[in-house]
């Protein structure tokens, strides 16, 4: 899809990713080009083995290209050292996963505070920001509940609060509704849509569900390590 306007926030230029060698070689990405502007909401779709998860891992600086360029804000990051990519993740990226990935015996507030501890913030500042993030996702009064005391939807809200507490430029969501029922899925997607619309957070979401992809403004479909299609979303969210 042709991109116009400001420089892309996220860009792939001929990105290839190869795992293994010889007869065991797997070409997960085969020289793809992709641009995502700041403030976009992009859904990435495709069957298992299509390359969508590999692309997401590279965008999230959890993996690097075998060849080609991965740029963030115009800066090549794919060949940066692990420590530099970790700093980029810490300061610019937030992650939400299908399995919530909360610490089981800690409170909602303590889970949300975790990325702030890595930043070396004081206890008082961490508490202030964590309370604000939990309130933003509708969990006032649940700050001291542990994961076992929260529903699946509430756990995912805690995970979203943890992802946004650092004020990231990009929210990466990997099947964020995969473990939720239909009603709760809609609530979570409404929340993510508000973060995108009202706070300008760029959202990149992997999903296999067409009704969930309908919340995005743009859908990129992967097939066999290549981009099969890249177009504005045509469906309407429920």
How does pLDDT run across 12-59, given as a tens digit for each residue? 999 999 998 888 889 999 999 999 999 999 999 999 999 999 999 999
Is pLDDT at 195 greater than 90 in this prediction? Answer: yes
Instruction: List Cβ neighbours of 230 (8 Å cut-off, separation of 6 or more).
Output: 1, 34, 218, 219, 220, 221
Domain boundaries of the chain, sorted by first residue: 10-232
Residue whose token pair is 């569900």: 209
Judge whether 90 and 163 are in contact, CB under 8 Å: no
Cα 18 from Cα 16, distance rounded (Å): 7
Q: Which CATH architecture has domain 10-232?
A: 3-Layer(aba) Sandwich (3.40)
Judge whether 68 and 221 are in contact, CB under 8 Å: no
* pLDDT tens figures, 198-224: 999 999 999 999 999 999 999 999 999
Element (H, E) at 16: strand 10-19
Strand partners for 44? 206, 220
Instruction: List Cβ neighbours of 125 (8 Å cut-off, separation of 6 or more).
Output: 116
């Amino acid at each position: 899809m042709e991109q116009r306007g400001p420089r892309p926030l996220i860009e792939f230029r001929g990105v290839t990713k190869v795992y293994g060698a010889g007869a065991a070689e797997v070409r997960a990405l085969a020289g793809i080009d992709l641009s995502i502007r700041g403030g976009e909401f992009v859904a990435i779709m495709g069957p298992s083995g299509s390359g969508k998860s590999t692309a997401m891992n590279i965008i999230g600086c959890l993996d690097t290209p075998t060849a080609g360029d991965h740029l963030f804000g115009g800066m090549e990051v794919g060949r940066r050292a692990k420590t530099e990519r970790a700093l980029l993740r810490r300061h610019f990226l937030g992650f939400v996963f299908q399995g919530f990935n909360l610490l089981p015996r800690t409170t909602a507030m303590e889970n949300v505070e975790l990325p702030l501890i890595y930043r070396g913030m004081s206890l008082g500042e961490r508490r202030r920001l964590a309370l604000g993030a939990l309130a933003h996702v509708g969990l006032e009064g649940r700050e001291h509940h542990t994961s076992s005391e929260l529903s699946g939807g509430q756990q995912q809200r805690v995970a979203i609060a943890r992802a946004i507490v650092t004020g990231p430029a990009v929210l990466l969501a990997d099947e964020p509704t995969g473990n939720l029922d239909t009603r709760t899925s809609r609530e979570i997607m409404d929340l993510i849509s508000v973060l995108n619309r009202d706070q300008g957070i760029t959202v990149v979401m992997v999903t296999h569900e067409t009704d969930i992809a309908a919340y995005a403004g743009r859908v990129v479909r992967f097939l066999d390590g290549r981009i099969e299609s890249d177009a504005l979303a045509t469906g309407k969210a429920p």
